[in-house]
Structure 1
C-alpha cells in the first residue's frame, strides 16, 4: 500500500500549492497507480459534490429487447452503421483520424452516438469503426495535453470528444482514458485564463462540466473542481437568461444580426435551438457543485418558458434554427431533439423530477422517429408538427434555407447528419437508474429491456417486458442473486391518473400520477410486478386554441397521402422531397371534455419497423369536417384559424396515426364550431 500513502501525501501537497495558486503548473501524476473503480454499480458523487436524486447506471448495464432492440438494429443497418462509408466528413480523411478532412465537430458528434450503439448491440463491426477514431485520439495527445486535430484549437469539439471518451471508458475500462483526460484538463485549466471559452464552447460549457465531474468522481483530484468553476465563470449564464426570459416572439435574422460575425454574436447564440436544448441541464449539473436548490429547479423554469412561448405538440420547442414561436408550422432542428433528450436524461438523474421522464418519452416516441425515415437512411434538418409538404421552399423558416425539411443525407446543414445518432442509444441507456442512496432501482422511462446491476451488494437481474408506448402494460420480473430488500421507484406519468400496480398478483396502493411510486420489499427470484397505464385518448390545447390528440406518451396526427420524389442520389442514400396527395385541412368535431367517447382506438401487432406508417400498431378514428378556407402557401400551411371555426362541409371519419408514422401530417387541428 506504499503507493496509496504517496498518493495521499501528494494530494495534500497539491492542496497546499493550489492555495498558493500554482498547482496547475505541476506535472501529471501516473494514474496507473490508481485503483480501478468498481463500476459494476453506479458511481456516486464525491464530496464536496451534492448527492444526486438518482444515478445513471454504468453503460452496459441495460440491454434493449423487443421493439427497442429492433429500432437500434435498424439504426445500425441504416445510415449510422455506414456513414463513414458514404460521407467524407467522417470518412477515412477525417481530421479525427489524422487526415486533412473535416477536423471540427463532426467526427466527435458521430462517435457520440456510434460508440453507445455499437456496445448496446455488441456489434463487432461498429465497435471496430469507432475504435479507429478512439485510438487516434488516445495516441495523438500533444505534449502540452491538447487533444484532437492540431488544425484548430477550438474548445467546442473537445467538449464532444470528452463525452465520447467517458462513454468508451465505462464500456471498455480502457486504462488510457483517465490519464489522457487528466492531462487535457490540467492543460485547459492553465490555458483558459488567456484563451477563454468563445461562441459554441461558451454556450455549451455545461456539457464539458459533465465530463469534468465524471473524472472527479473517479480520481478525486481537487483541481477538477477549480476547472468546473472556471467553466461556469466563463460560460453563458443560462439561468439568468431564463429568470428574465426576453425571447418570447419569433426570432428574425434582423433581430439577431445574423449576417454579422458569422451568426456567432451572443444574441444569435442565446436564441439558437441546439444551444438551448443543451442548456436545459445547466442548472441541474451546476447544482452538483453549488449545492443550490434554486439551480436544481432551474431546469423546470427553462422548460416552462420554452413551452409557454415556443412549445409544440411533439414535445419540442420551435427552433428553425432560432426560436420561432408557437405556430405548429414552424420546425425544430434534429440536433436539438437529441440534445434536449440528453439534457433531460441528465437532469432527471440529478433532480429526480418525474415530469422530466414524461417530457423525455414525448420526445423519444414522437419527435425523434418523426424526423427519420423508417429505415433510418435519411433524416430531416427541421421537422414540423403541421407539415404538409417537404420541398424546396423558403417558408416557414426563421433563419434556415430551402432544404430544411427534405429527407436526405445532409439537408440544409450537416451537423444533424453527424449528431442525431446519439438519440436512441442514450435513451436506451437511461431507462433505468439507481436511487441516490444506491439501494434501489428507478424506472425512469419505459421500453422493453433487461437490466443487470448490483443493489445493496446483491447482483440483480431485472427483465422488463412491454409494448409501451403502443400499449399500456409493463411487466417486470426481478431476479436477485439472493433474497434482497430494496425499493423499486416506478415513474407514473402525469397523464396516467388511474394506473395500477400489482406484485405477484396482489394490488398495491394506488400510485399518484406525476410521481415515483415506491414498492419496497424483500425481493425473491421470479417476483413479478405488473404496471397498467390506462391509455384513454385525451386532448391538449395549442396555438390559436387548436387541439392535439394524445394517447399515453404518443401524439397522433392525420397522415396526409405522400408522394416521395427523389431529388438527387447521395452515395449510399438519397435526398427526397414529399408532396401531398390528399386533402389535409380538417377541423375536428370533438367534445374535448370527454374525447374518449368520441375517439375509437384500433390496435394491431407491432411491426418490424415500430414507427412505420405501413405497420402502424395503433390508430384512432375521429370525426372531422374540411375547413376549406385553411390553405397552404409556398409549401407551408397558413396560420391555424382561431378555434372554434365555422365549417359547413359534411362530417367525415378520419384516421389518426402516431406522429412519427406520418411524414406529412397535421397534428394541431382547429376545432369545428358546434352546430347546436
Structure 2
C-alpha cells in the first residue's frame, strides 16, 4: 500500500524537544508538583480495586486500576505506533489542543477537545511509561487541578457546559489511579457537591443530557472510595435529568436510515431530542447507560437493557465489522454506509464498562471484534491520518456527498480532521483503554481474563502480589499462554473467557486438560496457584460465514473479519501541518461474488505467516484466506460508492477467480460483505 510520507526530520526534533518544552512552560509551582507526581509512583504499585459500596449492586467484575495491565508483543508495538503518530504530536500541529487551549488557560477551544485528547493521551503515556507524553498530559491535569473555582466548578470559565467536564472527569480518574495524586479526590468531591447544588436550576441539556451515564460512572467511582451518600443522590439526579435510553429501545422506532429531513437539520434542530437520540456517538456512549444505572437500581430489567439496545442496533443498523452505521445518524445495514470513529472508541469504552458490570462473555466477543477490525481499519498504518467515517464496503475515499445520511463530503478522507475535528481529539482512547481492560478483578476476589492480547498484569489478589504474563499472537493465532506467578502460594478463582465462536476450545493447567471449555462462557478455575503455573488456551480459528444485508456473506476467522483488498492509488489532497489529507482511488476491480456457503466455508484455505511489527498493515499481514469468486458486472459504484449489495444468491457467467482476503484493517479500500454465488 502506498502510504502517506512521514516528515521524519521535524518529528525527530519534536521527540527530543517536546517533553522538556512542555515541562518548562509550566509555572514553577506546577513544575515542582509535576516532579512530585512522577516520582516513583508510576510503576511502584497499582492502586487497590474498590468494589461497589452498599446500596450499589455488586458488579460481576471490576476494572483494574490503570497501570495494572501493560501491553506486550504486537499490542505494545501498536501503542508505540500510536505514540509516534498523530497521538504523540497532535498538540504540536493542531491549534485546538495546542498551547492556547482553554483547558490550559488560553483563549482557544474551551469545549470538549482538550478533555477528549487528555482522555486518551494520558493512558497512552502511562502504559508506555513515556515521559514526553506524560509531560504533555500533565499540563492539562495540572491546570485543571490548580484552577478549580471557589464554588467547585472546574474548567474554562468561558464555557459552563456540563458535557466537556464529564470527559475531564474520566481523565482525572485515570490519572488518580495511576499516580495516586492526593489532589484528585478532594477536587472531585467539591465539583460533585457544586453539581448537585446547581443541577436543579441548570439541568443537563443537549450533549450532557444524552451522555449523563459518563458523569454517573465517575460519581460512582468516587462514592466507592469516599462513601459520601450525596454522590448516590447525584447519580439519581443525573438519571432523572438524562435522556431515557431504555424507553427508546423498549419501543425502538428508528428502524430505517435517519435522514436530515427526518430530524429537521435544515430547520436548526440538530440539538433537539430527535436528532440527538439517533446520533451515532450518543448511541455508542449510551450502550453503558442501562448497566450503569443497574448498579444503583439493582433491577434485572436494567441489566437486560444493554442487550435490548445492542440487539436493536444490530438488527436495523448492524455492519459486518462489529459496529452499527452512523454517518452522522443511524444509517441502516447497507455496508456502504459508514461508522464515525468517535462512535467506535466510545462503543468500545461502553463495552469495557458493561462487561465489567454484567460479566457477560458475549460482550467481550463484541469488544474484540471492534478492537481488531473497526478500530485499526479507520487509520493509516502509521496512525498519522484517520477517517471520520469508515465503510465495510469502501471502494473509494474521495470528496463525494454520497452515501452519508447527514455528514459532509470529506467524511471518509484520511487526514487531520476530515469532516469534523471531534474524532481528531477523541480517537486516542481506543487502544489504551482496550489494553487496560484486558484483565479484571472478579466480585469474589479472583482474576478475570476478559479479552485476549499479549500483556503483563501486576496486581494484588487476596492480599498476595500476583504477576500474570500473557504470551500470544491472538487474534492472528489461537494459542494463548498465561503464566501465573503469585509472590506466595495463593488460592483464588481464575476466570477465562471462551468466545462464543470458539468450537472445541481447550484449556490446560500445567499440561492437564480441563474437562470443559464451554464456548460463550467464563470458565472458572479455582485452585492454589503457585509461581510457575501455566494456563494454556487453544481457541480454534476456523473460517465462518456471517449473513448480513440482502443475505450477503462476510468471512470471519475468530474475531477477525476478512475483506477483499482493492488496489489503492493514494493522492494527496493537501498538507496539514505535520500530516496531510488523502484521497484513495481504486486501481483494481472490486465487484465480486463469492462461491462460498455455510456448507463449504471450512474448505477456505488459510495461510499464516509471521507477525510483523505492524500486524494490521497490508504488507506482511500475518494471515490471509483464499476463496473462489466471480466478477458481478451488474454490481457497480456511483459517485465513488458501491451500490447496495444485490440480493443473494446471484448468478455470474464470468470466469472463476481465486481471491486473497486479508484482515479488515489491512485493506483501506475493501469489500467486506459479498453477494453469494448461486450453487
In structure 1, what is the equivalent of residue 138 of structure 2?
Answer: 131
1:64 aligns with 2:86: no
SS at match of 2:619: helix
Is the 8 Å Cα contact of residues 251 and 398 (structure 1) preserved in structure 2?
A: yes
1:493 aligns with 2:517: no
- Alpha-carbon deviations, 1:505-551, whole Å to 9, x = none? 11111211101011111111101111000101010000000000000
Q: 1:116-127 residue pairs with structure 2 within 5 A? A: 116-127=123-134
1:307 aligns with 2:314: yes
1:460 counterpart (466, 469, 477): 466
In structure 1, what is the equivalent of residue 392 of structure 2?
Answer: 385
1:665 aligns with 2:661: no
Is the 8 Å Cα contact of residues 469 and 553 (structure 1) preserved in structure 2?
A: yes
SS at match of 1:132: helix
Is the 8 Å Cα contact of residues 46 and 67 (structure 2) preserved in structure 1?
A: no
Q: In the TM superposition, what is the alpha-carbon distance from 1:594 to its structure 2 partner?
A: 3.3
Q: 1:233-382 residue pairs with structure 2 within 5 A? A: 233-261=240-268, 263-382=270-389
SS at match of 1:453: strand
TM-score when normalising by structure 1 = 0.93
- Alpha-carbon deviations, 1:245-273, whole Å to 9, x = none? 00000000000111333510100000000
1:646 counterpart (632, 644, 651): 651
Is the 8 Å Cα contact of residues 372 and 379 (structure 1) preserved in structure 2?
A: yes
CA separation in 1, counterparts of 2:239 and 2:356? 20
In structure 2, what is the equivalent of residue 619 of structure 1?
Answer: 624
- Alpha-carbon deviations, 1:468-502, whole Å to 9, x = none? 00000000011011111111100000000210011
Is the 8 Å Cα contact of residues 484 and 523 (structure 1) preserved in structure 2?
A: yes
Q: In the TM superposition, what is the alpha-carbon distance from 1:639 to its structure 2 partner?
A: 1.0
Is the 8 Å Cα contact of residues 398 and 584 (structure 2) preserved in structure 1?
A: yes
In structure 1, what is the equivalent of residue 82 of structure 2?
Answer: 75
- Alpha-carbon deviations, 1:162-184, whole Å to 9, x = none? 00111101111111111111111
CA separation in 2, counterparts of 1:138 and 1:556? 46
SS at match of 1:614: coil
Is the 8 Å Cα contact of residues 494 and 524 (structure 2) preserved in structure 1?
A: yes
TM-score when normalising by structure 2 = 0.93
Is the 8 Å Cα contact of residues 46 and 178 (structure 2) preserved in structure 1?
A: no
CA separation in 1, counterparts of 2:524 and 2:198? 48
In structure 2, what is the equivalent of residue 631 of structure 1?
Answer: 636
- Alpha-carbon deviations, 1:429-450, whole Å to 9, x = none? 0000011122x11011000000
Change (3 A) 1:446 1:500: same
CA separation in 1, counterparts of 2:546 and 2:599? 11
Q: In the TM superposition, what is the alpha-carbon distance from 1:93 to its structure 2 partner?
A: 0.4
CA separation in 2, counterparts of 1:566 and 1:155? 39
1:186 aligns with 2:193: yes
In structure 2, what is the equivalent of residue 443 of structure 1?
Answer: 449
Q: 1:162-201 residue pairs with structure 2 within 5 A? A: 162-201=169-208
CA separation in 1, counterparts of 2:47 and 2:343? 32
CA separation in 2, counterparts of 1:308 and 1:262? 27
Is the 8 Å Cα contact of residues 491 and 517 (structure 1) preserved in structure 2?
A: yes
Q: In the TM superposition, what is the alpha-carbon distance from 1:39 to its structure 2 partner?
A: 5.9
| Bigger mean CA deviation after superposition, 586-595 or 553-562 | 586-595
Q: How many residues align?
A: 636
Q: In the TM superposition, what is the alpha-carbon distance from 1:72 to its structure 2 partner?
A: 0.2
In structure 1, what is the equivalent of residue 161 of structure 2?
Answer: 154
| Bigger mean CA deviation after superposition, 144-153 or 259-268 | 259-268
Is the 8 Å Cα contact of residues 112 and 163 (structure 2) preserved in structure 1?
A: yes
Is the 8 Å Cα contact of residues 40 and 454 (structure 1) preserved in structure 2?
A: no
Is the 8 Å Cα contact of residues 463 and 478 (structure 1) preserved in structure 2?
A: yes
In structure 2, what is the equivalent of residue 18 of structure 1?
Answer: none
Please list every run of 5 or more consecutive structure 1 residues that lacks an aligned counterpart in the other structure.
1-35
In structure 1, what is the equivalent of residue 4 of structure 2?
Answer: none
1:586 counterpart (582, 592, 612): 592
In structure 2, what is the equivalent of residue 213 of structure 1?
Answer: 220
Is the 8 Å Cα contact of residues 565 and 576 (structure 1) preserved in structure 2?
A: yes
2:237 counterpart (230, 233, 236): 230
Q: In the TM superposition, what is the alpha-carbon distance from 1:308 to its structure 2 partner?
A: 0.3
Is the 8 Å Cα contact of residues 46 and 459 (structure 2) preserved in structure 1?
A: no
Is the 8 Å Cα contact of residues 608 and 624 (structure 2) preserved in structure 1?
A: yes
In structure 1, what is the equivalent of residue 574 of structure 2?
Answer: 568
In structure 1, what is the equivalent of residue 519 of structure 2?
Answer: 513
CA separation in 2, counterparts of 1:210 and 1:608? 36
- Alpha-carbon deviations, 1:405-460, whole Å to 9, x = none? 0000000000000000000000000000011122x110110000000111111111
CA separation in 2, counterparts of 1:594 and 1:210? 47
